[in-house]
Amino acid sequence: IDLSVTWLGQTMPGCLYNASGVWCREADELEAVLASAAAAVISKSATLLPRDGNPEPRYCRTPLGSINSMGLPNRGFDYYLDYARRYRYGSGKPLFLSLSGLSLDDNCEMLRRLAEEGLPAVPEVNLSCPNVPGKPQLGYDFAATAEALDAFDAAYSGLYGVKLPPYFDPAHFAAMAEILNRHPRLAFVTCINSIGNGLVVDIDSEAVVIKPKDGLGGLGGDYVLPTALANVREFYRLLPGKDVVGCGGVKSGREAFMHILAGARAVQVGTCLYHEGPGAFSRIADELAMLMRVKGYRSLDAFRGRLRTL
């Protein structure tokens, strides 16, 4: 059973890696993911300068997944750029750097500085952080997204990707696809980020469960799987020549299989990784391989994007 994935001009040994934000803020976390069965590594979304993020409690696990309003806590761009300078690219596991500048200028500054380094690290620009108070999600502003992508193309001459928020309307899928298809070096989209601004209530305390934004936070886990699959399948159809990375609700080989069936080139794991740790990657990979064996598939190409309609 071959779980390898060939994209971005390279072949990675498997199809699973971490979702940005989970097990990736510190260098030792990134090293733990690299040392695991994960096939790639992505860093926590970086701002130009380090950030503490929102007040705690800012993350809560629930029976159906998670809610978070971390507020972009990160070590700052230079920390992750330094990690990228020291990264073992010979491992065959690509390194992605998530960038989430607080302004278009900051995103372009980080892209320009990354370009200057000439490192193999691939940027995934985050258009969808839902938890910085006062900062609306770029991915929900189509005009601002169009302007940003033009600026990214000017700032960075290599291949890059974007992390998209979930969309919930065919008109929005179409509008975003029209914008994204203008950019040939935009090689992939990662669908989806958390479903923003959910509210989890604890009926014993009769209170919300996280402190920031009076309890509003991004949802992950089981809550988001159908929305994630819909976004993967719609953008897989609408973005010919681009790759879609599936993210959302993956906790076993089953959900990984669903994402690939929907068109995902590779699959990220967030909430499940947060709680299980990097051992999740070998478990999920084994489960996926088992599922493929039972179904008679020897590679991901044999079923990627083959979701049947009725």
Ligand X SMILES: O=C(O)c1[nH]c(=O)[nH]c(=O)c1I
**Could you give the CA distance from residue 133 to residue 241 in angstroms, rounded to a whole number?**
35
Catalytic annotation present for 129? yes
C-beta closer to ligand X: residue 68 or 107:
68
Q: Which stretch binds ligand X (CB under 6 A): 122-130, 152-160, 176-184, 203-211?
A: 122-130
Contact 84, 75 (CB under 8 A): no
Beta bridge partners of 5: 12
CB of 90 to ligand X, least distance (A): 30
C-beta closer to ligand X: residue 36 or 193:
193
Contact 16, 273 (CB under 8 A): no
**Could you give the CA distance from residue 67 to residue 92 in angstroms, rounded to a whole number?**
33
Binding ligand X (rule: CB under 6 A), the pick from 131, 227, 231, 271 is: 131
Q: Which stretch binds ligand X (CB under 6 A): 103-111, 117-125, 126-134, 201-209?
A: 126-134
CB of 224 to ligand X, least distance (A): 10
**Could you give the CA distance from residue 249 to residue 226 in angstroms, rounded to a whole number?**
8
Tokens of 114: 């990354």
With tokens 């989430």, the residue in question is 100
| Neighbour-count burial of 147, counting CB atoms closer than 10 A to its CB (0-12 exposed, 13-18 middle, 19+ buried) | middle
Backbone angles phi, psi at 183, to 5 degrees: -120, 95
Instruction: Work out whether the CA dihedral 34, 37, 39, 43 comes out positive or negative.
Output: negative
Binding mask 79-118 for ligand X (x = CB under 6 A): ---------------------x------------------
CB of 163 to ligand X, least distance (A): 6
Q: Does 70 bind ligand X (CB under 6 A)?
A: yes
Q: Does 71 bind ligand X (CB under 6 A)?
A: yes
Compute the residue count for the chain. Answer: 310
Q: In the range 27-66, which residues lie near ligand X by CB under 6 A?
A: 45
Binding ligand X (rule: CB under 6 A), the pick from 21, 65, 101, 215 is: 21
Q: Which of 15, 108, 129, 247 is catalytic?
A: 129
Binding ligand X (rule: CB under 6 A), the pick from 126, 145, 227, 271 is: 126
Q: Does 190 bind ligand X (CB under 6 A)?
A: no
Residue 203: asked if its preceding bond is cis (omega within 30°), the reply is: no
Q: Does 129 bind ligand X (CB under 6 A)?
A: yes
Binding ligand X (rule: CB under 6 A), the pick from 36, 145, 190, 193 is: 193
Tokens of 27: 């260098």
**Could you give the CA distance from residue 179 to residue 166 in angstroms, rounded to a whole number?**
16
C-beta closer to ligand X: residue 75 or 304:
75
Tokens of 281: 């990657």
Contact 153, 111 (CB under 8 A): no
CB of 52 to ligand X, least distance (A): 11
Q: Which residues bind ligand X (CB under 6 A)?
A: 21, 45, 68-72, 100, 126, 128-131, 193-194, 218
